[in-house]
Structure 1
Amino acid sequence: MSQDWIGYSYAALVLAGGIMGYVKAAGLGAYLMSQNPKDVRLSLGTSGTLAIVMGMRFLNSWKFMPAGLMTIASFLMLGKTAVGVVKRPHDS
């Protein structure tokens, strides 16, 4: 049986692209919040999506690494962002 190297290469490319996409989105979200604390949409969207996806993976596998860890980290980021939104001063 021969190895499907094209398939493996494609899978690696998709994986790397997905990881880089989330890294860029999370980094951009952090940068936007640093510049303007009211700009939380990208950070909320990224951490919320990751919390849901990884939470579902964790519930299906019950394996802590990496799904459980990323679920916890994503929910912590969601909580931090939500607390920042609630505590920030409101403009008139």
Structure 2
Amino acid sequence: MLVAMAVDWVGFSYALLVSAGGVMGYAKAGSVTSLAAGLFFGLLAAVGAYLASQNPKNVWLSLGTSGTLTVVMGLRFLNSGKFMPAGLMTLVSGLMLVRLLYGIQRRPRLS
């Protein structure tokens, strides 16, 4: 019997946004570092979304990815003061982090 699993569309959208940010950094500034980091973290976010789609309790990769990007991009935003792209990625990653933490907190506990 097949059981339909909920697809983590928000997680996959986040992964796409992170990857697109890396591609845009390369296209606008020729930054190979932005391209590599964007594709790497986008891939991690996509795998995390896939894992969460298979098992809603398996959010650890997504949590680590969004947490890391929140801190790294937050520091870049504080140093540059520019909302684009660091501030936007800090905001989006922070929202993803809050979503994941809220989901963990709402889970029923085993006694």
TM-score by length of 1: 0.80
| Alignment match of 1:81 (pick from 77, 100, 111) | 100
The whole-number CA distance in structure 1 between the counterparts of 2:47 and 2:86 is 23
- 1:29 corresponds to 2:48: yes
Unaligned stretches of 5+ residues in structure 1 = 1-8
The list of structure 1 runs, each at least 4 consecutive aligned residues, that deviate by more than 6 angstroms after superposition, is: none
Number of residues of Structure 1 aligned to a counterpart in Structure 2: 82
The whole-number CA distance in structure 1 between the counterparts of 2:109 and 2:50 is 21
Q: State the 1:90 CA deviation.
A: 2.6
1:68 aligned residue? 87
RMSD of aligned Cα (Å): 1.6
Distance 1:47 1:56, change over 3 A: same
- Percent identity, please: 55
The whole-number CA distance in structure 2 between the counterparts of 1:34 and 1:41 is 13
TM-score by length of 2: 0.67
Q: C-alpha deviations, 1:4-50, integer Å up to 9, x for none?
A: xxxxx8x52x4332221111100011111111111111011100100
Higher-Rg structure is 1
